[in-house]
Amino acid sequence: KNQVEQSPQSLIILEGKNCTLQCNYTVSPFSNLRWYKQDTGRGPVSLTIMTFSENTKSNGRYTATLDADTKQSSLHITASQLSDSASYICVVRAYNNNDMRFGAGTRLTVKP
Amino acid sequence: DAEITQSPRHKITETGRQVTLACHQTWNHNNMFWYRQDLGHGLRLIHYSYGVHDTNKGEVSDGYSVSRSNTEDLPLTLESAASSQTSVYFCASRGNQNEQFFGPGTRLTVL
């Protein structure tokens, strides 16, 4: 069983709308959690990183939240744009080693 | 600007052939990684290296090998390509800030 589960698998929204992507993990002990954006045909690019003590972090229209107690994170996208169409990948790193666990990603499509 | 590149970007080969995928980074990072990405799966670690002459097996290392003769390069070799190795391969490097930078990927098809 994957230690990082993302939902939904795919999502279609209209331009200008908001959306929230979910990430649940079982990786322990926890070190940090990153959200990556992967455009079609490209490598993933980091959006945010969150450590144990951080609850919320923003990067422009992207806001990530972390609840380390329930082992859940979310990525909220505000006022979506066509360029937000991509896969969003949640990656969790364990504290005591360099092991990074990748979620399967959420495929977001923003339509005009 | 520093970057990470992969070549080729696309490769078609036949079952049983040896294939080498190149990865080159100019950040002078010690840590380098190879992943494969398949539909329905997260990126899975194949091999990684923490420095010159250091190599380690990842989660899905069978049928793959790497070598690290310098800081900049980590070539990935498929000893005898199999259809199950059809995938998109990503190389990444990581510096002291713990952020991984990914290459553009290589799409490999094994017929």
What is the per-residue pLDDT for B61? 96
C-alpha gyration radius of chain A: 13
Indicate yes or no: CB of B90 within 8 angstroms of CB of A43.
yes
Residues of A in Cβ contact (< 8 Å) with B102: 43-45
Per-residue pLDDT of B35-50, as tens digits, reads 999 987 889 999 999 9
Query: Which residue of A1, A99, A102, A106 is the best one to mutate when testing the B interface, meaning the one whose CB has the most B CBs within 10 A?
Result: A102
Per-residue pLDDT of A86-103, as tens digits, reads 999 999 988 876 678 899
Listing from the earlier edge strand, what are the strands of the sheet with B64-66?
Answer: B4-7, B19-25, B76-78, B64-66
Distance of CA A2 to the CA centre of its chain: 15
Q: How far apart are CA A60 and CA A53, in angstroms?
A: 21
Per-residue pLDDT of B26-37, as tens digits, reads 999 999 999 999
